Amino acid sequence: MKRLFILLCVCILAASTAIAAEKRVLSPMLRAAAAEQEPNAAATEVKPEKGGLIDINSASLKQLKALKGVGVEYSERIVAGRPYFTLEQLVIRRIIPGDIYESIKDQLIARQTY
C-alpha cells in the first residue's frame, strides 16, 4: 500500500511538472506564431464587412484587440490558433473564456479560405 501511495505521488509530481513546463513554452510560441502571421499590419489590414463582422481567420491583431474584453493576450491566442471552422472553437479550444465569447460572438464570423 505504501508503494502504491509513493508511485501515485511520483506520477502526480511528474504530471504537474510537465504541465508547468508546457505553459512556460506555450506562451512564447503563441507570441512568435502571432508575429509570423502578421508581418506587415498595414498590408494585411482587413476591413469589417457590412454589418461590422470581423473574420477571425483573417483579422489583424489590431482589429481583434478592439473587441470588448479581448486584449493583447487573447488576440494573440486567436491569431496563433488559426484556422477556425466555427466560432465556437474559440471556447472549445480554450482560446477565450465563455463569457467574453458570449459578449462578442455577434460581431464575429469564421470564413473559410479555399
Assigned domain for 9 exists: yes
Question: Helix (H, G, I), strand (E, B), or coil: what is residue 41?
Answer: coil
**Phi, psi (rounded to 5 degrees) for 108:** -115, 160
Which range has highest mean pLDDT (23-27, 48-52, 110-114)?
A: 110-114
On whether the pTM is more than 0.75, the answer is no
Greater confidence (54 vs 49) lies with 54
Assigned domain for 43 exists: yes
Assigned domain for 69 exists: yes
Domain, as residue range, for 83: 2-109
What does the alpha-carbon distance between residue 106 and residue 54 come to, in Å, rounded to a whole number?
10
What are the tens digits of pLDDT across the range 39-49? 544 444 445 55
Assigned domain for 20 exists: yes
Assigned domain for 114 exists: no
Assigned domain for 32 exists: yes
- How many domains are there within the chain? 1
Instruction: Calculate the average pLDDT of the chain.
Output: 79
